[in-house]
Structure 1
Amino acid sequence: MKFFDNVGVMAIGTRLRMLSEKMTEDATEIYEMYGVGLKPKWFPVFYVLSKDQEKSITTIANEIGHSHPSVSKIVREMVKEGILLEKKDDSDGRKNNVVLSEKGNNITDQIHEQYLDVDNAVQAMLDQSRHNMWHAIEEFEFLLEQKSMIQRVKEEKKRREVEKVQIVSFEAKYQAFFRSINEEWINEYFTMEEIDRKSLDNPQEYILDTGGDILVALYDGEPAGVCALLKMDDPQYDFELAKMAVSKEAKGKGIGWLLGKAVTDKAQGLGAKKIYLESNTILKPAINLYHKLGFKKVVGHPTPYQRCNIQMELELK
Structure 2
Amino acid sequence: MNHDFLPELEHLGFTARIKRLNEKIVSSTIDHYSSLNLDIEPNWHVIFLLLKQRERLTVTEIAQALGFSHPAMIKITRKMKEQGYLETFKDEKDGRKMLIQLSKNGRNVLPLFEKEWQRIQDVLKEVVDSDFLEKLSHLEQALQQKSFKERYTKRFPLKKSIDVFTIRNAKSSEFKEIGKLMVKVYSELEGFPKADEQPQYYNTLANIGDFTKKPDTELLVALSNEGEILGGVLYFSDMQHYGSGGTAPLEKNASGFRLLAVNDSARGLGVGKALSKACINKAKEKNHQHVVIHTTDFMKIAWRMYENLGFKRSEDLDFKQCKLQVYGFRLKLK
Shorter-chain TM-score: what band? 0.3 to 0.5
Instruction: Determine which structure has more spread, i.e. the larger CA radius of gyration.
Output: 1
TM-score by length of 1: 0.48
